[in-house]
Amino acid sequence: MEGKGRILTGHRPTGPRHLGHLVGTLENWARLQDDHECFFLIADLHVLTTDYTHPQRIRSSIAEVLMDWLAAGLDPERSTFVLQSAVREHAELALLFSMLITVSRLERNPAYKEQVRELGLTASLGLLSYPVLQVADILVYKADTVPVGEDQLPHVEITREIARRFNSLYGQTFPEPKSLLSHVPRLPGIDGRTMHTSYSNTIPLFASPAEIERAVMSMITDPARIHPTEPGHPEVCTIFAYHQAFNREMTPQIEEDCRRGEMGCVQCKCNLAKLLREQLEPFRRIRQELAACPSYLWDILEEGTARARPIAQTTMEEVREKMGLSK
């Protein structure tokens, strides 16, 4: 794996992963393990930037994320799983980096502006400096590649700015990491909007056959198509987007049948539900097995964290020295 580049990416532990995470994100991360050294971070400190009043939720959410990651093929034998709060250097490096960026730069961050809009006016200092902590997550391991969704691009840009600033002040220390966007179109949720936990339109990775059935049957198809023999418009249909994600070989045929009015939406939905039931069955099974042995999950996290910590400590020693702090 030497010389192939180091990847760091992660999720905030906010509960079970859904199909939107699988398509485009987790599938991509699993593939990247073949030719990169990967660090997968469970960013529990980041959860506190918006939700610090439910400490009892964090532990169970960490286990949820970990189970879904493993079920999706992230491999603790090949990759390193890190619990952010267990490596104190993340927080320490974030403090030092906070000197190298202005408040106004952080106030211009689109992700921050959106959160503030959503939360009302109760934004904390921690939320404002969310990206600075993320920069520390990435640079404490000197990762050079950060696979993320489009919403996270501003944070990778801030990472590059802080790395540049640090290097120009104190000498070459950090890489300027690049983002790696997956080019798979985003999966719509059951209401047709982007699948997102806060929209309550998700299908969990471990959905039961009955849940899958219910979700698929409630999805919105082409609103202009009243009768199954009328020509449909797959480009506006949620079901078709799922066929594209989970049933790629068949999509040209489905598209043709739909446009010609040869396949009705109900039939098309039934086909999709069956397919999803089959494809998601292994996730459900692996997850059930994992749920039966929680200590295995915590062992993986502890092991990965123990592997990551010395790397973070070495970076921190270098940074402390360069910034004139005591050993």
- If one asks whether residue 9 binds ligand TRP (CB under 6 A), the answer comes out as yes
Cα gap 73→34, rounded to integer Å: 11
- Of residues 16 through 45, those in contact with ligand TRP by CB under 6 A are 41, 43
- If one asks whether residue 179 binds ligand TRP (CB under 6 A), the answer comes out as no
When binding is defined by CB under 6 A, the residue of 46, 225, 243, 277 that contacts ligand TRP is: 46
- Find out whether 76 and 304 touch, Cβ atoms under 8 Å: yes
When binding is defined by CB under 6 A, the residue of 61, 80, 134, 305 that contacts ligand TRP is: 134
Q: Which stretch binds ligand TRP (CB under 6 A): 8-16, 27-35, 59-67, 191-199?
A: 8-16
Between 137 and 255, whose beta carbon lies closer to ligand TRP? 137
Residues in contact with ligand TRP, counted by CB under 6 A, come to a total of 14
- If one asks whether residue 195 binds ligand TRP (CB under 6 A), the answer comes out as no
Between 152 and 314, whose beta carbon lies closer to ligand TRP? 152
Closest separation in Å from C-beta 258 to ligand TRP: 34
The contacts of residue 153 (CB under 8 Å, 6+ apart) are 179, 181
Query: How many Cα atoms within 13 Å fall on the side-chain side of residue 128?
Result: 15
The contacts of residue 291 (CB under 8 Å, 6+ apart) are 67
When binding is defined by CB under 6 A, the residue of 11, 17, 36, 243 that contacts ligand TRP is: 11
Between 93 and 286, whose beta carbon lies closer to ligand TRP? 93
Task: DSSP letter for 11, please.
Answer: E
- If one asks whether residue 269 binds ligand TRP (CB under 6 A), the answer comes out as no
- Of residues 145 through 174, those in contact with ligand TRP by CB under 6 A are 146, 148, 152
The string of DSSP letters for 157-179 reads HHHHHHHHHHHHHH-S-----EE
Between 109 and 134, whose beta carbon lies closer to ligand TRP? 134
Closest separation in Å from C-beta 213 to ligand TRP: 30
**322-326 contacts at long range (C-beta below 8 A, 24 or more positions apart):** 322/170, 322/171, 322/173, 323/96, 323/170
How, if at all, do strands 37-42 and 80-83 pair? parallel
- If one asks whether residue 10 binds ligand TRP (CB under 6 A), the answer comes out as yes
- If one asks whether residue 123 binds ligand TRP (CB under 6 A), the answer comes out as no
Minimal CA–CA distance to 238: which of 268, 206, 196? Answer: 268
Q: Hey, what's the torsion of the CAs at 189, 194, 200, 203, to 10 degrees?
A: 40
Between 150 and 303, whose beta carbon lies closer to ligand TRP? 150
Cα gap 41→259, rounded to integer Å: 44
- Find out whether 39 and 83 touch, Cβ atoms under 8 Å: no
- If one asks whether residue 204 binds ligand TRP (CB under 6 A), the answer comes out as no
Closest separation in Å from C-beta 228 to ligand TRP: 40
When binding is defined by CB under 6 A, the residue of 48, 66, 123, 138 that contacts ligand TRP is: 138
Cα gap 190→181, rounded to integer Å: 24
